[in-house]
Structure 1
Amino acid sequence: MTAAQSSERPYEQRCAQAVNALHSISYFTPDLGTELEQFGVTDPLSVYLACRSAPLGAVDAPVVTAVFHGFAPAFVAERVPAVWDLVSPKQAVLARQKAIGTALERLLGSEVIRSQQMAEAAKLATAAASGGSFPGRPLYAANAGLEQPDEPHIALWHAATMLREHRGDGHATVLGHLQLIGVEALVLDCASERGMPKEVVMPQRGWSEQDWSAARERLVERDLVDRAGALTARGVALRDEMEHETGRLDRAPYAALGDAGVEKLARYVRELVTTAAGSGAFMPQLREFFAPDADAWNRL
């Protein structure tokens, strides 16, 4: 989608992409698993579900399924609420903060995380993250209710998490309006040139090949994908509408910074993500998704 088609300014889109990538580092490095292993949580997907949903409290599987949107209900129910018998939400929140602190110091270096630039970026991101609204945004609101970390690099990650969940909550609202629920939204996204690979997404979200094929068939009936699984013209238009509306609902945090502040934050966080990616933060299949090259980033 071009900047003219979107309600977002280019640097708002780029900043949203960059903070999402920074937030996501925690799920691809071993540190989070190491922190939760001491509580007996060893399944990587239980680690993810526990740490991302922990700000909500010890919620049951239907709530996690609802707010995460793209996960198979049975997949979540196999792990939640059983995981809360091993680790409390408060322990999981502390564990993820410790894990990302360790991971960022290793990936970026102690000089970077203790730099003045890092402190300034944390302040900018925190100001942006404080500019969202709570109604209809459960994950954003839950993270906003947590205590602000003291260390700048962890504070930056926390603010990036709030921004990522603010956008994600709004995105889920848009998907519901467009009647793209759960696996259907994933199939449509994977069919686009900017989506994640199916072989990564499908098992990580708990869907079977049968689930995936059935969802694709429903999208074929709506003329959103063709029999080969590629987006149709109508599918491209719907995805553009989805991105447009997601961006429109995500304007408030970035408006709080002004154009110059958003550009400064976007550029700095992108530099951090690129450095982290070069240090092996992401699996090879997803490096370009989270840390696109300069030309791809400038096209956002």
Structure 2
Amino acid sequence: MVTQAARAMWERFEPVHDLVYFAPEARRAADGLGMRGFWMGYFALRAAPLGPVPAPVVTACFYVFNPGRVARALPDAWRYAAPGDVLDARESAMDAAMTRLFGPDVVSSTRMTEAADLAWRAAEAADTAGRPLAAANQALDRPRPSCARLWQALTTLREHRGDGHVATLVGHGVAPVAAMVLKAAAGESDADLLREGRKWDHADWRAAEKELRERGWLDEDGALTPAGIAGRAAIEAQTDAVAEGPWRTLGQEDTARLAELLDPLAVAIRDSDLLPPGNPVGVTGAGKGG
């Protein structure tokens, strides 16, 4: 039941977190800091809680990106803006994006405050041992505006889940490109979008497919075999299991209440067409409307 809650909550909080990638307010914030292009802004906005780290650290934490893609953005981004300034701009951008999408009455409502406080409790309860992105986000100060507080709490929970997913992939011997091949083969995301966005070439992709075929997880047509379906299901199940801690601490009743409060937010983001076609984040639903 708890691991089911872990996945159900991810389906709700992932769209809210994704505003930092796809909302125009985030791009304007990055541009205003002097960042050069979408990807420099992406890496700076997401990596800022870690401090002014070099590219190899971010490559390791983010896992699926070609090291060259990261190195084109970092550490150069920190010459344009210090991580603390990036964090301030990120918080303001998320406040503005949520106000525009949900409306001022929603972001100032008691429901928003309740959701923010419940999510913050869950985020505080997250065990960040071995989870660098979650730990870095969890250590940030509590934002005063409710919507910014909600976004930051959900981001901590998202990175907590992501760190656990990376550890699970490593434990199962699934390398970065192979992880994306599996996601595409499962029909969660568009293969070309994943490959091009993470800056891997066709040779890298073909090599990962070959490795998965030799492992017995892909057939000659690139579809998952029964062994591949089972292997991927095991990875997803373990990812859910190691993400259960915050929801166990929050409790079934409060977790269900937070899900109820997040439902209309996730649906509003989905209905806004803000998430790009091809679904690079792999969300299969967005609240009750998903």
Tell me how far apart the structure 2 counterparts of residues 158 and 70 of structure 1 sit (CA, whole Å): 23
1:31 to 22, 25, 29: 25
Matched, 1:71 2:72: no
**Closer/same/farther in 2, CA of residues 266 and 207 from structure 1, 3 Å limit:** same
Aligned residue for 2:93? Answer: 99
Stretches of structure 1 lacking an aligned partner (at least 5 in a row): none
**Closer/same/farther in 2, CA of residues 288 and 208 from structure 1, 3 Å limit:** closer
**Closer/same/farther in 2, CA of residues 166 and 294 from structure 1, 3 Å limit:** closer
Aligned residue for 1:274? Answer: 267
Aligned residue for 1:141? Answer: 135
2:111 to 88, 108, 117: 117
Matched, 1:53 2:47: yes
1:84 to 66, 72, 78: 78
Tell me how far apart the structure 2 counterparts of residues 288 and 250 of structure 1 sit (CA, whole Å): 17
**Closer/same/farther in 2, CA of residues 259 and 60 from structure 1, 3 Å limit:** same
Pairwise CA distance, 1:276: 2.3
Aligned residue for 1:260? Answer: 253
Aligned residue for 1:160? Answer: 154
What SS is found at the alignment partner of 1:286? coil
Counterparts of 1:176-255 in structure 2 under 5 Å?
Answer: 176-193=170-187, 195-255=188-248
- Whether the aligned pair in 1 keeps the contact of 2:164 and 2:239 (CA below 8 Å) is yes
**TM-score w.r.t. length of structure 2:** 0.95
Pairwise CA distance, 1:28: 0.9
Structure showing greater relative contact order (alpha-carbon pairs closer than 8 Å, 6 or more residues apart): 1
**Equivalent AA in structure 2 for residue 267 of structure 1:** E
**TM-score w.r.t. length of structure 1:** 0.92
Question: CA offsets per residue over residues 4-29 of structure 1, 9 Å max, x none?
Answer: xxx61x33321122112210122111
Tell me how far apart the structure 2 counterparts of residues 259 and 203 of structure 1 sit (CA, whole Å): 40
Stretches of structure 2 lacking an aligned partner (at least 5 in a row): none
Question: CA offsets per residue over residues 164-187 of structure 1, 9 Å max, x none?
Answer: 001111111100000111111111
Aligned residue for 1:11? Answer: 5
Tell me how far apart the structure 1 counterparts of residues 273 and 261 of structure 2 sit (CA, whole Å): 19
Tell me how far apart the structure 1 counterparts of residues 29 and 81 of structure 2 sit (CA, whole Å): 11
- Whether the aligned pair in 1 keeps the contact of 2:20 and 2:45 (CA below 8 Å) is no
Tell me how far apart the structure 2 counterparts of residues 197 and 291 of structure 1 sit (CA, whole Å): 13
Pairwise CA distance, 1:79: 1.5
- Whether the aligned pair in 2 keeps the contact of 1:224 and 1:231 (CA below 8 Å) is yes
- Whether the aligned pair in 1 keeps the contact of 2:50 and 2:133 (CA below 8 Å) is yes
Question: CA offsets per residue over residues 183-217 of structure 1, 9 Å max, x none?
Answer: 11111111113x22112211111111221111111
Instruction: Provide the alpha-carbon RMSD of the alignment.
Output: 1.9
Matched, 1:20 2:10: no
**Closer/same/farther in 2, CA of residues 296 and 222 from structure 1, 3 Å limit:** farther
**Closer/same/farther in 2, CA of residues 291 and 97 from structure 1, 3 Å limit:** farther
Over the matched positions of the two proteins, sequence identity in percent amounts to 34
Tell me how far apart the structure 2 counterparts of residues 122 and 142 of structure 1 sit (CA, whole Å): 19
Tell me how far apart the structure 2 counterparts of residues 42 and 255 of structure 1 sit (CA, whole Å): 42
Pairwise CA distance, 1:268: 1.9
**Closer/same/farther in 2, CA of residues 295 and 231 from structure 1, 3 Å limit:** farther
Total equivalences in the alignment: 290
Tell me how far apart the structure 2 counterparts of residues 291 and 264 of structure 1 sit (CA, whole Å): 21
Tell me how far apart the structure 1 counterparts of residues 179 and 65 of structure 2 sit (CA, whole Å): 11
Tell me how far apart the structure 1 counterparts of residues 263 and 93 of structure 2 sit (CA, whole Å): 21
What SS is found at the alignment partner of 1:147? coil
